[in-house]
Amino acid sequence: MSAVRQHSLVARLADRFGATASFLCAVHCALLPLVIAVLPALGLGFLANHRFERGFIAFASVLAATTLIVGFRRHRRFRAFWFLAPGIALLFAGIIVDFEENATLHAILVAMGGTLVTLAHLTNLRLGHGHVHDAACEH
């Protein structure tokens, strides 16, 4: 397998992983206020831990930014960043909100942010899929 094809495969897999993780994060954040009492009984109490959530948001943000930059270098379209920038801003706004005082606002912000980051990954995947390597391509 050529280095370009292998790089492309890794980039697509990273985008798919990021899209899935961001979507699961959005669902987790939207449902967390409803199921917070059930998680410890299922052995999933760590999902309600705010340090875990902050770490996951930081990881998801770095992964998203990295995969979108790699994708941009390939397809040269900025469209995915229009979802990523507000998505990350909403995620960080959500973790700034005091969960104990306003769980609903927290859940709304991080669920919307996770959804936008998911859309950024999916947009990046679609843009990369439509990119054709030809004589005019630099890569």
What's the average model confidence in pLDDT over 20-24? 76
Residue 138 falls within a domain, yes or no? no
What's the average model confidence in pLDDT over 37-46? 66
Lowest mean pLDDT among 26-40, 64-78, 111-125: 26-40
Residue 103 falls within a domain, yes or no? yes
Residue 137 falls within a domain, yes or no? no
Residue 135 falls within a domain, yes or no? no
Number of domain units in the chain: 1
Geometric angle at alpha carbon 13, from 8 and 16, rounded to 5°:
125
Q: What is the pLDDT of residue 100?
A: 76
Residue 92 falls within a domain, yes or no? yes
Range of the domain at 83: 3-129
Residue that wins the pLDDT comparison between 20 and 106: 106
Largest Cα–Cα distance in the chain? 59
Res. 98 pLDDT band, cuts 50 70 90 = confident
Asked if the model's pLDDT at residue 93 lies above 80, the reply is: yes
Asked if the model's pLDDT at residue 121 lies above 70, the reply is: yes
Contact of 36 with 49, CB cutoff 8 Å: no
